[in-house]
Amino acid sequence: MWFEILILIIGIAYGFLHKGKEGYWHLLKLGLLIGIVLGIIFAVISMFTGIGLLLGLAGGIGIVVGIVILVIIFLVGAFIGDFLEGISKKKPAA
């Protein structure tokens, strides 16, 4: 729970501090790629340590799903940060 909140706060900070609109689709594809690579690496490692093929594949799929969920939470935070950046940039009517 705390880790997800931290990811959301980091996403808000990223969206607020990074100038302009973020490439949400690019960030999602990059997160998916990182998740797949890490899932494959950990699945191969677990198969070689004697855990078994089925358990190694299940763990790899779980890692991919977990990372994709965290990337989506980060993107929601980045969207909120972009929204807050847009509000802070608007000039007040005099």
| pLDDT for res 94 | 55
End-to-end CA distance of the chain: 43
Tell me which residue range forms the domain holding 44: 22-80
65 in any annotated domain: yes
Give the closest residue to 22 by CA, choosing from 88, 73, 66, 83: 83
| pLDDT for res 9 | 93
Chain center to CA of 46: 24
Q: For residue 65, what are its two tokens?
A: 């799903």
10 in any annotated domain: no
**Please, is 79 exposed, middle or buried when counting C-beta atoms within 10 Å of its C-beta (0-12, 13-18, 19+)?**
middle
13 in any annotated domain: no
Q: For residue 40, what are its two tokens?
A: 């494959």
Which pTM was predicted? 0.79
pLDDT per position as a tens digit, 21-78: 778 888 888 888 888 888 888 878 877 777 777 777 787 788 888 888 999 999 999 8
* Dihedral angle of Cα 63, 65, 67, 69, to the nearest 10 degrees: -150
38 in any annotated domain: yes
91 in any annotated domain: no
45 in any annotated domain: yes
Residue 79 has pLDDT above 70, yes or no: yes
Domain total for the chain?
1
87 in any annotated domain: no
